[in-house]
Structure 1
Amino acid sequence: MKKILIVVLAFTFIASMALAEKKEAVEGVWKPKKPITIIVPWAAGGSTDQSTRVTAGELEGPLGQKIVIVNQPGASGSVGTKSCLDAPRDGYTWTAGAVKDLGTYKVQGLLDTTLDDWHLFLNVAMAQVVAVNVNTPYKTFDDLLKAFKEKPGQITVATAGVNSAGHTAIELIKKYAGIEYKHVTYDGGNPAVIACVAGETEVVTQLSVEEVDMLRAGKLRALAVLTEKPLELKDYGTIPPITKWIPDFKVAPIYFGIFVPKGVPDEVISTLGNLWDTVIKKSQKIKDFASERGAVFDPSWGDEAYRKAFPMVQIDAWLKYDAGQAVINPEEIGIPRP
């Protein structure tokens, strides 16, 4: 009798567990059973690293699991992104960064992937800031433009490498202003900023999030922001828009976020989408991060995220194509000229 009771209880337990798992799958709820890894394909301290860590911290509680950030820089973000693509599609490995990078890897021949391979979960938008070492003679963006033209190819500019936001910024300036510059690359936005502060370069064109500490500390001088409106940076002041000097300069927001490769279980995406709607879009911590670091709080996911981020993908892809830095025509992978 005792053995029969044990068997009955065992079958009851198994049946209840199966029903619970079935209910979880039907409702699209994902409850991870182990820590999640986010591969940040840039160096620690940069824009992707900063925004990802804040966002991951907001997701750990609702998911009930630790999220481990692994920095794997290299080849303009493509090395770490490939590691995510190569990982098992079980939902436990994500990557992060700027959508414009993800959307242009294939154009440049860096990585065989397009936006169609990914689920996008965005947190903030950021703008590039043209800043100079405070010991340089450049007081305004006009001063710098004159120097570029008087000394073509001699003014040193630090960026996080080809495909980085900083490289896109100086290439856009080159396109619209007809200047030449000397490109000095680093393994991330933060190293590029530090290099400019140390005097290794005269100029840095990385994102506001990466430059803000050195601007406030008086180690860098901001000359222009690549937007149509001024950037009000807390505890620093107003940075004028580049359109003050180049009125026809075309800009679009650079959106950042977390990217999950397609092919993971559907409940992973539905759960993350729900968390974006109920947690991330209401996150005071991410709002405070954006306000403090000169970014724009604008979370979205799915089709909405794609629509918001795609304009900068177009600008960057065609900028590279027109400059001879692309290996294929962007139209071949569904990126029409803006």
Structure 2
Amino acid sequence: MKHSVKKIVTGALAAVLVMGAAGCAGTGTGQEWPTKPVTVVVGYAAGGGSDLIARKLAEGMAEELGQPFNILNVSGGSASIAGQQVCDAPADGYTMLAGPMNVASPWRVCNYIDAGWEDFYSLIGANSWYAILVSKNSQFKTYQDLIAYGKENPGKLKWGHSGYGSMNQVSGDLMLDIVGVEAVSVPYGGGSEAATKVIAGENDFTWLPLNDAADFINSGDLVALCVTSAEDRTIATIGGEYTAPTMLKDYPECEKLDGILGWGLHVPRGTDEAAMKRIVEAFEKTANSAEYAEYCKSINVTPACVVGEAADRQAAFMESFIAWGLYDMDMAAEGVTPEDFEIPTVQDFAWPPNERASGAKAWPAG
């Protein structure tokens, strides 16, 4: 099923486009890195999954490296505004991007900025599952109820997400295609904002990773009707626990949505090798700590520590998933196809997928 979507470019995003951005440039840095605070630019609103993971990783890395890690939220344009800001800064390790592993996937096919996953070293620190989330006051008590209503009333349901081209929107549209429901799509600046609109009764549901709405789920204001994990999941709230059933039993095709989430930090690939080694060491120590694991559990995510070629492979695969998903839904920029950037389909994906991957700057040795 194709979806026609009116593309709206904000003034801020238009300004980015006028700048005619290219990929991230590199500059050298000394071995004493860091000697000043680090800025972590989160491409989404405060309170969402990208923001929560970024803040916890930044906290641990600041302690390891002896310098503050300051969080700056810059939402809009599927994180391309934040991405441009990071690319425009010197690639010296002092400015990095925070977001999902697919953060750069829509940028080129949507004609936002000329940068992609290969312009960053991605350090993935957590994974999670998607869920259909409704207000505690919703008329829908099971996901079967919601889907049945949607089939009987095409176009009546409204659902919110974190912006056109975002992983939440693309995967949410795919989920709706799989279950056979036509719903009105409403974009917001981040997952947290989309969640609040459901609580306020403005939308019927949202499709988010569990940790994107962790506080609202824990408070009981949002209820997870189902999850994309292979098994049912126990959801902890201040009022007690309940079980969110897997939707894979009724819709096995949704299995392709399991395991596609990952959050972390993205460091410009031009960063000096000595600084990058320090960043990776601090990241690995933080991501593997007991304190971090306990925090991840509290927000319904699984801790991870993925760097190096494994991270590159995941990011490249997500580029295929997102870019072709947008194109198939008529949401790529007019006249643009993933083939223009040698992006293979998911079915044809192999490593390395294209010359950009083959020519990407190697990760620092050791």
Counterpart-to-counterpart distance in 2, 1:176 and 1:42? 27
Counterpart-to-counterpart distance in 2, 1:298 and 1:165? 19
The verdict on how the C-alpha distance between 1:288 and 1:248 changes in structure 2, with shifts beyond 3 A counting, is same
2:214 maps to 212
Q: Report the alpha carbon displacement of residue 83 of structure 1 after superposing the two structures with TM.
A: 0.4
The verdict on how the C-alpha distance between 1:282 and 1:216 changes in structure 2, with shifts beyond 3 A counting, is closer
1:337 maps to 345
2:64 maps to 62
2:311 maps to 305
Counterpart-to-counterpart distance in 2, 1:334 and 1:124? 29
Counterpart-to-counterpart distance in 1, 2:132 and 2:175? 10
Counterpart-to-counterpart distance in 2, 1:295 and 1:48? 12
Q: Report the alpha carbon displacement of residue 51 of structure 1 after superposing the two structures with TM.
A: 0.5
| Displacement over 4 Å in runs of 4+ | none
1:239 maps to 244
Residues 121-270 of structure 1 mapped to structure 2, 5 A cutoff: 121-235=123-237, 236-249=241-254, 250-251=256-257, 252-270=259-277
2:281 maps to 274
Moved more, 325-334 or 115-124: 325-334
Counterpart-to-counterpart distance in 1, 2:218 and 2:278? 39
Encode CA deviations 1:109-152: one digit per residue, 9 max, x unaligned: 22211111111111101222101123222121111111111221
Query: Structure 2 residue aligned with 1:83, among 82, 85, 105?
Result: 85
The answer (yes or no) to whether the contact 1:43–1:49 under 8 Å persists in 2 is: yes
Encode CA deviations 1:185-236: one digit per residue, 9 max, x unaligned: 2211111111111111110112201223322333222111123332333343
- The residue identity in structure 1 corresponding to 2:253 is D
Normalized per residue, the structure richer in helix is: 1
Moved more, 197-206 or 129-138: 129-138
Q: Report the alpha carbon displacement of residue 274 of structure 1 after superposing the two structures with TM.
A: 2.4
Secondary structure (helix, strand or coil) at the match of 2:277 reads helix
The verdict on how the C-alpha distance between 1:80 and 1:247 changes in structure 2, with shifts beyond 3 A counting, is same
The answer (yes or no) to whether the contact 2:143–2:225 under 8 Å persists in 1 is: yes
- The residue identity in structure 1 corresponding to 2:301 is A
The answer (yes or no) to whether the contact 1:255–1:309 under 8 Å persists in 2 is: no
- The residue identity in structure 2 corresponding to 1:63 is L
Unmatched segments (≥5 aa) in structure 2: 1-27, 347-366
State whether structure 2 residue 115 is matched by structure 1 residue 108: no
- The residue identity in structure 1 corresponding to 2:345 is R
- The residue identity in structure 2 corresponding to 1:229 is E
- The residue identity in structure 1 corresponding to 2:286 is I
- The residue identity in structure 2 corresponding to 1:285 is E
2:357 maps to none
Q: Report the alpha carbon displacement of residue 292 of structure 1 after superposing the two structures with TM.
A: 0.9
The answer (yes or no) to whether the contact 2:57–2:283 under 8 Å persists in 1 is: no
- The residue identity in structure 1 corresponding to 2:343 is I
The answer (yes or no) to whether the contact 2:106–2:166 under 8 Å persists in 1 is: no
**RMSD, aligned α-carbons:** 2.1
Counterpart-to-counterpart distance in 1, 2:270 and 2:318? 26
2:321 maps to 315
2:289 maps to 283
Secondary structure (helix, strand or coil) at the match of 2:102 reads helix
The verdict on how the C-alpha distance between 1:274 and 1:35 changes in structure 2, with shifts beyond 3 A counting, is same
Task: State the TM-score, normalizing by the size of structure 2.
Answer: 0.80
Counterpart-to-counterpart distance in 2, 1:308 and 1:183? 27
Q: Report the alpha carbon displacement of residue 245 of structure 1 after superposing the two structures with TM.
A: 2.0
Percent sequence identity is 28
The answer (yes or no) to whether the contact 2:61–2:283 under 8 Å persists in 1 is: no
Counterpart-to-counterpart distance in 2, 1:29 and 1:240? 50
- The residue identity in structure 2 corresponding to 1:261 is P
2:38 maps to 36
Task: State the TM-score, normalizing by the size of structure 1.
Answer: 0.86
